[in-house]
């Protein structure tokens, strides 16, 4: 397995290995300081980024390499050079490529042409690095993944929700998605997750009732309602439709007694989450953010040392 474009590319053993490696990098951040000595990793960001940009740059540096961050205006793509040509050129200079952009097809085209590993650092469809960090955080807190249920409340069709669904079912966890009509996961996502859950012993539940989703859940998870590029009309509509899906103290009290709150950040307090929840004692949101670094180290290390087998 050369690239990581989505969680569903991984096998269950791959995911387990990434979590083991990430936990190791938590304990020993400089465990592999020579892996990337004298090598660069271009990081192409077509979207703004805080956690992904800084965590991947730090991961490359800890592995001994030099991250080189570039944007759309700094490459020849805007002048008509193809993604394939860009990928081949990068492969002549670099050890791997990290890309954060819009279309999944662009990342797939880059990976198809690049002779080096390509890591999806967020597209409109997927956010695999976030999902690895999420499961690392849950495992770190509870000691195990199996037997725990994640309740995702809000926009269930976005990239974070899709990658979380893929990761949770691959790990044999239970996951419940609560979202209003029009914001539910696609039928394809649900069907794939159900099949994976049957293989791994987990389950997936999709509902429009947030209370039903969080009942008995160990983790209550949400993400922003509004995305970059939404029109004013779309922003107003989303706020109206998703208002009943805010994670507040009432909803947290319906989860398991030891339930924790998670959010991939950035957060809009007063919209998808109440300030008292994300800033309270049950919140792991900032632990998640910290865990983006060892997760990125694990993915880079596993790809560069050819440790991943791919989904079978």
| Domain-embedded: residue 192 | yes
Six-digit token string for 126: 């997927």
- Residues 137, 281 within the same domain: yes
| Domain-embedded: residue 2 | no
Q: What is the pLDDT of residue 78?
A: 83
Q: What is the pLDDT of residue 12?
A: 97
User: Band of the pLDDT at 79, cuts 50, 70, 90?
Assistant: confident
- Residues 220, 156 within the same domain: yes
pLDDT in tens, 42-68: 999 999 999 999 999 999 999 999 999
Q: What is the pLDDT of residue 311?
A: 75
Q: What is the pLDDT of residue 118?
A: 98
pLDDT in tens, 193-250: 999 999 999 999 999 999 999 999 999 999 999 876 678 888 899 999 999 999 999 9
* pLDDT over threshold 80, residue 82: yes
What average pLDDT does range 150-169 have in this prediction?
98
Kindly report the average pLDDT of the chain as a whole number.
96
Q: Name the residue range of residue 204's domain.
A: 130-289
CA–CA distance, 68 with 43 (Å, rounded to integer): 6
| Domain-embedded: residue 120 | yes
- Residues 138, 11 within the same domain: no
| Domain-embedded: residue 311 | no
More confident call, 232 vs 164: 164
Residues belonging to the active site: 100, 127, 130, 223, 264, 292
| Domain-embedded: residue 312 | no
Q: Which helix (H) or strand (E) holds 222?
A: strand 219-222
Beta bridge partners of 70: 44
pLDDT in tens, 122-139: 999 999 999 999 999 999
Report the sign of the C-alpha dihedral through residues 214, 218, 224, 227, in that order.
negative
What average pLDDT does range 25-38 have in this prediction?
97
| Domain-embedded: residue 142 | yes
| Domain-embedded: residue 1 | no
pTM of the predicted model, to two decimals? 0.97
Q: What CATH number is attached to the domain comprising 168?
A: 3.40.50.1370
Six-digit token string for 148: 């725990």
Please tell me the total count of domains within the chain.
2
- Residues 238, 100 within the same domain: no
- Residues 114, 166 within the same domain: no
Beta bridge partners of 45: 100
| Domain-embedded: residue 221 | yes
- Residues 140, 164 within the same domain: yes
Q: What is the pLDDT of residue 211?
A: 98
- Residues 121, 178 within the same domain: no
Q: What is the pLDDT of residue 312?
A: 58
Q: What is the pLDDT of residue 228?
A: 65
- Residues 78, 195 within the same domain: no
CA–CA distance, 75 with 72 (Å, rounded to integer): 6
- Residues 136, 285 within the same domain: yes
- Residues 261, 171 within the same domain: yes
- Residues 97, 69 within the same domain: yes
- Residues 118, 137 within the same domain: no
């Amino acid at each position: 397995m050369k690239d990581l474009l989505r969680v569903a590319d991984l096998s269950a053993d791959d995911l387990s290995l990434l979590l083991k490696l990430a936990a190791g990098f938590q304990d020993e951040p400089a465990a592999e300081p020579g892996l990337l000595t004298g090598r660069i990793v271009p990081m192409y960001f077509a979207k703004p980024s805080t956690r992904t940009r800084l965590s991947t740059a730090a991961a490359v540096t800890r592995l001994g390499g030099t991250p080189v961050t570039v944007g759309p205006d700094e490459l020849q793509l805007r002048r008509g050079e193809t993604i394939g040509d860009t990928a081949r050129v990068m492969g002549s200079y670099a050890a791997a490529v990290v890309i954060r952009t819009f279309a999944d097809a662009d990342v797939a085209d880059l990976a198809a042409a690049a002779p080096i590993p390509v890591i999806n650092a967020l597209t409109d469809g997927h956010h695999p690095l976030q999902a690895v960090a999420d499961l690392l955080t849950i495992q770190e807190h509870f000691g195990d993944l199996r037997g725990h249920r994640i309740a995702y409340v809000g926009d269930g069709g976005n990239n974070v929700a899709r990658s979380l669904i893929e990761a949770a079912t691959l790990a044999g966890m239970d996951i419940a998605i609560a979202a209003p009509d029009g914001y539910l996961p696609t039928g394809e996502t649900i069907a794939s997750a159900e099949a994976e859950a049957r293989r791994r012993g987990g389950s997936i539940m999709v509902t429009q009732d947030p209370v039903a989703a969080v009942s008995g859940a160990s983790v209550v998870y949400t993400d922003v309602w509004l995305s970059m590029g939404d029109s004013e009309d779309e922003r107003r509509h989303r706020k109206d439709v998703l208002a009943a899906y805010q994670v507040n103290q009432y909803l947290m009290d319906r989860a398991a007694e030891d339930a924790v709150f998670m959010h991939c950040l950035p957060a809009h307090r007063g919209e998808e989450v109440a300030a008292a929840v994300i800033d309270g004692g049950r919140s792991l949101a900032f632990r998640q953010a910290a865990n983006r670094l060892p997760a990125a180290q694990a993915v880079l290390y596993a790809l560069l040392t050819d440790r991943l087998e791919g989904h079978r």
